[in-house]
Amino acid sequence: MARRIQSAIGWLSTGASVTALVMRGAPIATRLRSEVIATAAILRDRGGTPPRLATILVGRHAAAEAYQDGIKRTMESVGIRHGATLLPTATTPDDFVAAVLELNADPGVTGVLVLMPLPPHLGPDLVIEHLSPLKDVDGLTPTNAGRLYLGLPSLRPSTPQGGMEILDHYGIHLAGLNAVVIGRSNVVGRPLATMLTLRHATVTVCHRQTRDLALKCRGADLVAVAAGHPGLLRGDMVRPGAIVVDFGVNVVDDALVGDVDYAAVSQVAGAITPVPGGTGPVTRLVLARNTIAAGFAAIGGSLDHVAFATVDDRSNGEA
């Protein structure tokens, strides 16, 4: 499988027809589910609090609600309790911060996840500044983001880490690849760029102000899309044999679709993640794994004690 992908990368410029390998998340999710269940038992044996994930959703948003439903099912499947805090759209900043601080202080809550997007009057800084780093299972706080940037143990954002798990499972060697990340959010784009850089890819981050996005994508061995724009990446924007990772979660005509025009891009790419069935199942199980890791951090009192060491030793000793 790995040879097939690397072979595709090797003849990116030939223009040959490519039948994309579909990088489904199911096999990675199966492995992660077993790991989470086993490690939760170790956490209990060491006297840790039974893991519980708390989610906060403010107002109504179809994609966020779909994600929350998926989280609930995933947590149930691995024996992690889940509690949902639902707040009205008109929640004031003070009341929102109070809800976050209450969960910070609750010893029965292992991890806290604030579902995005928030209403416009609630800035993401309210999460970044007030959420406890030890319960920050999506790696948003300055402590976790800074430790990730420095290559230290941290609670890594679950969505980009899920993408990395998929790339590893399918044997994609990242060192030396030219990668384009479309999207610069603190939840996906920026941390993903850091993770790829730590693995020695050469990374270009693109966004709304990027000039000639298609040209930049066509020069990439790997394109990762997390822009929240259905069908943004078209077939004519991808080099033959390139690897495409779609993090998009969009609801169009009651159907879940990604940021990639899958029908067109899958005829060009060497490997591609589908939506649904690609990064989503892995993301939710990485979130479960982070919830267990936060339990170990609570026992030790610092992020140095997170389970499943998140510093990848494949990056050590290389410039």
Would you tell me the crossing angle of helices 189-198 and 158-169 to the nearest 10 degrees?
Answer: 40
Q: What are phi and psi of 122, to 5 degrees?
A: -115, 100
CA dist 71 and 175 (Å) reads 32
For residues 265 and 18, which has the higher predicted lDDT (pLDDT)?
265
Other CB atoms within 10 Å distance of the CB of residue 278? 27
* pLDDT of 19: 78
Across 290-295, average pLDDT = 96
**Sequence letter at residue 106:** D
94 part of a folded domain: no
User: pTM to 2 decimals?
Assistant: 0.89
250 part of a folded domain: yes
Residue 14 belongs to domain with CATH number: 3.40.50.720
Question: Range of 234's domain?
Answer: 2-24+157-280
For residues 34 and 3, which has the higher predicted lDDT (pLDDT)?
34
Across 248-268, average pLDDT = 91
Closest CA to 225 of 238, 209, 240, 211: 238
* Structure tokens given for 310: 């998140």
* Structure tokens given for 3: 């040879």
Asked if the model's pLDDT at residue 265 lies above 70, the reply is yes
272 part of a folded domain: yes
* Structure tokens given for 156: 């890594």
Owner of token pair 């959703």: 57
pLDDT in tens, 91-141: 999 999 999 999 999 999 999 999 988 999 999 999 999 999 999 999 999
Q: How many domains does the chain have?
A: 1
Task: Round the average pLDDT of the chain to a whole number and report it.
Answer: 90
Across 242-261, average pLDDT = 91
Asked if the model's pLDDT at residue 315 lies above 70, the reply is no
Answer yes or no: are the C-beta atoms of 281 and 26 closer than 8 Å.
Answer: yes
**Sequence letter at residue 300:** G
* pLDDT of 310: 44
237 part of a folded domain: yes
Q: DSSP state, 19?
A: -
Burial class (CB in 10 A: 0-12, 13-18, 19+), 221: buried
pLDDT in tens, 95-105: 999 999 999 99
Asked if the model's pLDDT at residue 188 lies above 80, the reply is yes
173 part of a folded domain: yes
* pLDDT of 7: 44
86 part of a folded domain: no
Q: What are phi and psi of 182, to 5 degrees?
A: -100, 110
Going by pLDDT thresholds of 50, 70 and 90, the confidence category of residue 4 is very low
* pLDDT of 255: 87
Asked if the model's pLDDT at residue 307 lies above 80, the reply is no
SS3 label, residue 154: coil
Asked if the model's pLDDT at residue 237 lies above 90, the reply is yes
SS3 label, residue 178: strand
pLDDT in tens, 11-65: 444 445 557 999 999 999 999 999 999 999 999 999 999 999 999 999 998 878 8
89 part of a folded domain: no
131 part of a folded domain: no
150: CB partners within 8 A, 6+ apart = none
* pLDDT of 62: 82
Q: DSSP state, 222?
A: E
* pLDDT of 67: 85
* pLDDT of 308: 55
Closest CA to 20 of 277, 276, 273, 278: 273
CA dist 250 and 230 (Å) reads 6
